[in-house]
Chains A and B, each alone.
Chain A
Amino acid sequence: MKVLYHRQRISEAGATALFVVHDEPELVRRTMLAGLELPFPVLVDLDRTAYAAWGMTRASSLRIWGDPRVWLRYLNTVLHGQRPTRFGADTLQLGGDFVVAADGTIAYARPQRTDDRPPVAELLRALGET
């Protein structure tokens, strides 16, 4: 996830971050966090209670694997000489990005409908505007 590589800009915005995963910690360390020192907590939600509470749904197989952007991303990974990382336990689980303002209210909400993410600049702008 690209925003993981912008940790300094998150801090410069006077903000912090929480990343939530539903995979085992060992897999998260070996894949998502490989070679990355993240100064923000990565929270583990194996039974996806928080995913459900925040309205994170699952997509259909067709919606995920029928999306050419998914295939282009993996093709791009291979063309750059990298091996695609192993998938987590549930490839159909969707995620989402939220900015919680200092007063505890939602200032930005972007739940995923397919395998997409908002531009990093949009997230940083939302963090800076709260």
Chain B
Amino acid sequence: MSAPQVGAPAPALELPDLDGERVSLADLRGQPVLVSFLRHAG
């Protein structure tokens, strides 16, 4: 799958946080969101 292009709907994103609580991008609708996928933790 290729990365989403500017203007396209953002793909769904729902994952657990570090404490195991589910967080969804959809719940943040209404404000700009920086979504940053990190290469590795180090």
- List residues of chain A with CB under 8 Å of any chain B CB: 1, 3, 10, 13-23, 25, 27-29, 31-32, 41-45, 50-56, 84-91, 93-109, 111-112, 115, 123, 127, 130
Provide the bound-state CA to CA distance between A97 and B28, in Å: 17
Tell me which of A1, A23, A44 contacts B36 (CB under 8 A): A1
Give which listed residue, A1, A32, A41, A123, contacts B17 with CB less than 8 A: A41
- What's the minimum C-beta distance from B23 to chain A, rounded to whole angstroms? 5
Would you call the interface of chain B mostly helix, strand, loop, or mixed? loop
For A19, give the chain B residue with the smallest CB separation. B36
> A54–B9 Cα gap in the complex (Å)?
11
What residue in chain A is nearest B2 (Cβ atoms)?
Answer: A55
